[in-house]
Amino acid sequence: MIDRDINYAARQICAEQDAKGDTDTWALYVSGAWDDTIWMHLVEQGIRRGIEMERADHLATDYRHVSPAVMAAALREQSK
């Protein structure tokens, strides 16, 4: 998932949550007008952490025989 996809997903999540309220501001999230809000940054951060955890879990599951040092090096390499 690239940054553009993460941003799009965060916009959708924020818009859906905002639409549950009594205001009509959800469209500002969808349009990108509120991309610099704290809420958007937190949602994007959560998506990124979820991706990292999924990758780490995949490595731990598929490569149990690999030492922790080698797994850490592989994670660092993937994040580049």
Asked if residue 55 has pLDDT above 90, the reply is no
CA atoms of 68 and 63, how far apart (whole Å): 10
Question: Which residue ranges make up each domain of the chain?
Answer: 3-78
- At residue 66 the predicted structure's pLDDT band, cuts being 50, 70 and 90, is low
Q: For 14-47, what is each residue's pLDDT tens digit? A: 999 999 999 889 999 999 999 999 999 999 999 9
What is the per-residue pLDDT across 45-54, written as a single tens digit (0 to 9) for each? 999 999 888 8
Instruction: Report the C-alpha gap between 65 and 19 in whole angstroms.
Output: 47
Amino acid, single-letter form, for residue 8: Y
Question: pTM for this one?
Answer: 0.67
Mean pLDDT of 49-75: 73
Confidence label for 57 from pLDDT (cuts 50, 70 and 90): confident
- What separation, in Å, do the N-terminal and C-terminal C-alpha atoms of the chain show? 14
